[in-house]
Structure 1
Amino acid sequence: MTAETAQPAAEATAEAGAEQPVPLGPDSLTWRLFGDWRGLLQGPWAGSMQNMHPQLGAAVDQHSIFFTERWQRLYRSLYPIGGVVFDGDRAPHTGRQVRDYHRGISGVDAKGRRYNALNPDVFFWAHATFVMGVVVVQEYLGDPLTPAQKDQVWAEGLRWYSMYGMPMRDLPADWAAFQRYWDHMCENVLEDNKATRDVLDLAELAKPPTAPWLPDPVWRLLRIPISKGFIWLTVGMYDESVRQLLGLRWSKRDERLLRVVHTTVRYGWKLVPFELRYHPRARSAWRRARGKIPADAPLVETPDRNLPPPEYRDSPHHYVPGR
């Protein structure tokens, strides 16, 4: 699978696999590893890895309002993206909703190259970063996965991807094939572009909407170590080929310090009560699976504080509950 396949968007949505997709459940490894709060620490890693894809980066640069509402977009997106994993029988519907937010996002980039957000290669790359993100979080903040667990995560990643109703042909068959695909993308396809650099520029990071009580002068002071810490961790999580692409340095001292952070988070995380580890959409799924709430309980949606600006709430490109 290459990044340059130019398959029309209509074909992309019409070629879903013939078999009914089988949602993931509480018996899956992905349920246990995806959707916990440690994933927020690799937010800039995921965003920048996605944006380095030439077509995806162009789409973000020309169509997204992410950089005017970073926190809100991040928190808001966790609900439908998490729902593709955690919504059970409703996951295929959630997946198609996520897919359809990307309809009509197309154009020509600054180099004259056409892009389309529903190009299967573009859409798959975004999904690839989610699956690799599961592995990355465990590698740097949790219990590193064994080869067998990586095979399982990728097999479940294919089931996860089938929820979107996108073409299922020519996808990596196992973890080894996925790793070759990933290495090829990092070494030969990804590029240093404006959308990537914008993700990594946290100098003016706004105050989180979850902390409106925090005085602005205090946030301006806290923002300095927080932004530097996020970027440092992101650089540590990158493949070496990506660091070289972006001209970033990573020393042996950095690596030793990252291992200290890894150990601290890895063992400290085990002290957090199980349900409190998870994002609300994932937490409610675990509660349904354990019989604590009805199996058909309404899905948890993002609170109003995370909604896009009012002038964008009628846009079909944005997740707005109850629209």
Structure 2
Amino acid sequence: MSQSQSQHTNTHVTHDVEPLGPDSLTWRLFGDWRGLLQGPWAGSMQNMHPKLGAAVEAHSTFFEERWQRLFRSLYPIGGVVFDGDRAPATGREVRDYHRGIHGVDAKGRRYNALDPDVFFWAHATFVMGTVLVQRHFGDPLTDAQKELLWAEAIRWYAMYGMPMHDVPPTWTAFQVYWDHMCQEVLEDNPATRAVLDLRHLDKPPYFPWLPDTAWRAFQYPVGVAFEWLTVGMYDESVRRLLGYRWTGTDERLMRLVHAAVRTGWKLVPFERRFHPRARAAWQRARGALPADAPLVQTPARNLPPERYRDSPRHYVPGR
């Protein structure tokens, strides 16, 4: 990807690109609950992009509402894959949340959330995260499946209405791009370290019945475990960048985790594996819901703090 500046007014027409559907590999792999296991990986990888990390540090509410921001975002992001004929509108909606996010970072470098290289990097982590979930917690993809997944990822990216001219055309080309980013572009920065600081994470608001004392007992070990999983999913060049080590013992333990999750996952009913936005899409596809049924939106418990709800930078259903 080029480091082109301020090209976000040059959008790609999406009406001639077919949205993904239930026959796609992406529908079967993206949007299931195992994806939460790579949440810190995705967040930290995104923030290591210098421009993206600067934008998050200066403009995001993530660090004051981590749980809500995470679960709220799953709805529109998943919709770009699962909303069928409505996916292009969802994609443009997601793109437009990023309008006006720009500035100058602490090193004097300009950033804009809609610079093509920034926006594409976030998409790249979604695709690579899908591959890693299968590698570490499911059935690793074959080379042919990776090529298919990437071909579908190009269609997926087209839903955003962003420039397409620098998108790698094949999985092999995407790997060249990915290695270049990991080895030469990504950086250690405060936004990345904040994502990885999980040992003092607030209690999830979805478990109000959980006593604070019980959460404090689990808080530290849960944080350590997720940080360890995240390190296991990093490329070796990223581990070196952040100062982590991964030993043979770590790798053997990761294989045990893989086996446990893979085995347990087979016991989960198919539709229950998916996030509500994706689950509803599967129900529409098999006729259990009307094709034009309203899209599933985030519940009120995930909304941003009251003072941000009028901002066009935030997803707030029904606004």
Interval containing the TM-score (normalised by the shorter chain): over 0.9
Mapped partners of 1:209, 1:295: distance in 2 = 33
Number of the residue aligned with 2:226: 230
The alignment status of 1:310 with 2:306, answered yes or no, reads: yes
Aligned match for 1:281, one of 260, 277, 296: 277
Matched residue SS, 1:271: coil
The alignment status of 1:12 with 2:11, answered yes or no, reads: no
Number of the residue aligned with 2:23: 27
The alignment status of 1:61 with 2:60, answered yes or no, reads: no
Matched residue SS, 2:103: strand
TM-score normalised per structure 1:
0.97
Number of the residue aligned with 1:182: 178
Mapped partners of 1:18, 1:237: distance in 2 = 33
Mapped partners of 1:15, 1:74: distance in 2 = 27
Q: How does 1:169-318 map to 2 (within 5 A)?
A: 169-318=165-314
Aligned match for 1:111, one of 85, 89, 107: 107
Deviations 1:299-321 (A, max 9, x none): 00000000000001111111000
Mapped partners of 2:83, 2:184: distance in 1 = 36
Deviations 1:148-178 (A, max 9, x none): 0000000000000000000111210100000
Asked if structure 2 preserves the Cα contact closer than 8 Å seen for 1:55 and 1:114, the reply is yes
Q: Name the amino acid aligned to 1:273.
A: P
Matched residue SS, 2:238: helix
Number of the residue aligned with 2:93: 97
The Cα shift of 1:124 comes to: 0.2
TM-score normalised per structure 2:
0.98
The alignment status of 1:132 with 2:128, answered yes or no, reads: yes
Mapped partners of 1:162, 1:171: distance in 2 = 10
Identity of aligned residues (%): 73
Asked if structure 1 preserves the Cα contact closer than 8 Å seen for 2:8 and 2:114, the reply is yes
Matched residue SS, 1:276: helix
Aligned match for 1:144, one of 140, 156, 176: 140
Which consecutive residues of structure 2, in runs of 5 or more, have no partner in the other structure?
Answer: none
Matched residue SS, 2:111: strand
Number of the residue aligned with 1:153: 149
Matched residue SS, 2:8: helix
Asked if structure 2 preserves the Cα contact closer than 8 Å seen for 1:17 and 1:167, the reply is no
Deviations 1:94-114 (A, max 9, x none): 000000000000000000000
Asked if structure 2 preserves the Cα contact closer than 8 Å seen for 1:108 and 1:114, the reply is yes
Number of the residue aligned with 2:40: 44
Runs of 4+ in 1 over 3 A off after TM superposition: none
Mapped partners of 2:27, 2:209: distance in 1 = 33
Asked if structure 2 preserves the Cα contact closer than 8 Å seen for 1:98 and 1:164, the reply is yes
Aligned match for 1:165, one of 161, 173, 181: 161
The Cα shift of 1:208 comes to: 1.2
Mapped partners of 2:274, 2:71: distance in 1 = 13
Instruction: Please provide the CA RMSD for this pair.
Output: 0.9
Matched residue SS, 1:286: helix
The Cα shift of 1:15 comes to: 2.9
Asked if structure 2 preserves the Cα contact closer than 8 Å seen for 1:13 and 1:165, the reply is no
